[in-house]
Structure 1
Amino acid sequence: MAGTIKGASNFSAEADAQKLRKAMKGLGTDEDIIIEVLCNRSLAQRQEIKMIYKATIGRDLINDLKSELSGKFEKVIVGLMTPITLYDVEELKRALKGVGTDEGCLIEILASRTNDEIRRINETYRHQYGTNLEEDIASDTSSMFRRILVSLSTGNRDESHHVDEGLVKQDAQCLYEAGEKRWGTDEAQFMTILCTRSRNHLLRVFDEYKNISNKDITESIKSEMSGDLEDALLAIVKCMRSKTGYFAERLYKSMKGLGTDDDILIRVVVSRCEIDMIDIKAEFKRMYGKSLYSFIKDDTSGDYRKVLLQLCGGED
């Protein structure tokens, strides 16, 4: 796993803080300087710049960035300045508050994070908003979709590497009997197995399921479920098979067709640029025959595009 954004080797938080202040002082803002500094520093270095900026300049860097920037460019830059767990927490809160719920965001974050990441999200969410993520999800969603999100939000998936072949066969049979083999679907069985079993176990279950039903598990989910429930279960299966493939598909879908879904595009690029963006890029090219760089170049514009192109690591 490797990210496209690395720390600067001859790093000086003080020099960077002064540079940023100069870029924002007076009339107009030098966006290129902001990009040059913040997109070439690691998250830890950006946090240091934020602290030194306050200590030496006596101002809040995030507030200054927010007042000088706007729109999508502001959203990416402020996202980059946010510690990764807090970034996830803020995105989850945004997805839950106000009119309508951004179900896609809830699914993406909860289905793709590890147990440790989910636990940190829960702690930070409580600390940040004084409420419980699980309760907020429960009050904002309904039926089986709610139960799946709540289950994922506990961060209690089995993470062992041991695979019990007897249980594999049993789970595959259970899924078959809960869906393809009966009239109607026993969604609770799908939830129990897909939300709690380990990755290694589930990969074997998917193979065994295909032997029993002559169908891939994703085909069965598509024919048995619909709407948010279908999306959630498919996301779990895709993340188990290949997290980088899942994110590559999210990026592709955010840009194909009419208009761009900036929320998805920004969130995936910002949240993965220091984790596995190099692998996501390679997977994107393999899946779609065109580089992520050229997709972003053709589909976005302005300073926002410059940042995204930098964060996805240039053309290759």
Structure 2
Amino acid sequence: MLLITISSGLPQILVRLISSYRFNKEVVNFSVANSEAATLHDAIKTGQLDHDDLVWILSTRNYFQLRETFKCYKNKYGSSIEQDIMASGKGTLESILKVAIWCIDAPEKHFAEVIRASIIGLRTDEDSLTRAIVTRVEIDMMKVRGEYFNMHKSSLDNAIIGDTSGHYKNFLMTLLGAKI
């Protein structure tokens, strides 16, 4: 059903990003990173965010290789790849690629945004908030906390305390390591 309701090249990109095989060794080829940074830059600057080369790079390279490619990109072109993608438009494709890059390069940015989106507004999205905290609590919650503060100039703990209550608040604060 998802693939039917999405326009143009998005189904191919989504399927390739979620079902790709990635070599999971910590192997980085610096010349490949440099070359692929240029390929990514060309695709982004020409507005071809669904270009086969861009999708292939993002969906097949290991995370260590991609992080080095993103670093080369920023060093060569002066801005991060996600900044250039978002500068090229505000559509669904740009948002998907930004999230994919955040999840590869700095998952804490993505999870800080998920947490923020789940507590902002009139009603808390408890499912998203719980999922974001539970999935990161033993991995990199300290990084998520730091990124949340950098992005929103308020502490994650205070944001959760201000938006939740009762046993649910106590549960989340316990996961975050707060003394209640």
1:260: Cα distance to partner?
A: 3.0
Alignment of 1:47-66 (within 5 A): none
What CA distance in whole angstroms lies between the structure 1 residues aligned with 2:43 and 2:136?
35
1:264: Cα distance to partner?
A: 1.8
Superposition TM-score, scaled by structure 1 size: 0.49
1:150: Cα distance to partner?
A: 0.7
CA deviation vs aligned residue, 1:9-57 (integer Å, no higher than 9, x gap): xxxxxxxxxxxxxxxxxxxxxxxxxxxxxxxxxxxxxxxxxxxxxxxxx
The structure 2 residue matched to 1:250, chosen from 93, 114, 138, is: 114
What CA distance in whole angstroms lies between the structure 1 residues aligned with 2:14 and 2:130?
22
The structure 2 residue matched to 1:185, chosen from 48, 68, 73, is: 48
Alignment of 1:200-239 (within 5 A): 200-239=64-103
CA contact (8 A) 1:137 1:149 kept: no
Aligned residue number for residue 62 of structure 2: 198
SS of the aligned residue for 1:179 comes to: helix
Q: Which has the larger radius of gyration?
A: 1
1:307 has 2:171 as partner = yes
1:169 has 2:38 as partner = no
Kindly provide the amino acid, as one letter, of the partner of residue 90 in structure 2: S
What CA distance in whole angstroms lies between the structure 2 residues aligned with 1:277 and 1:259?
23
CA contact (8 A) 2:13 2:50 kept: no
Q: How many residues align?
A: 179
Gaps of 5+ in 1: 1-135
1:171: Cα distance to partner?
A: 0.9
CA deviation vs aligned residue, 1:207-258 (integer Å, no higher than 9, x gap): 3223443332112111224333222211122122222332123212322355
Query: Once the two structures are aligned, what percentage of the paired residues are identical?
Result: 33
Task: State the Cα RMSD in Å.
Answer: 2.7
SS of the aligned residue for 2:9 comes to: helix
Aligned residue number for residue 153 of structure 1: 18
Gaps of 5+ in 2: none
Kindly provide the amino acid, as one letter, of the partner of residue 19 in structure 2: T
1:285: Cα distance to partner?
A: 4.0
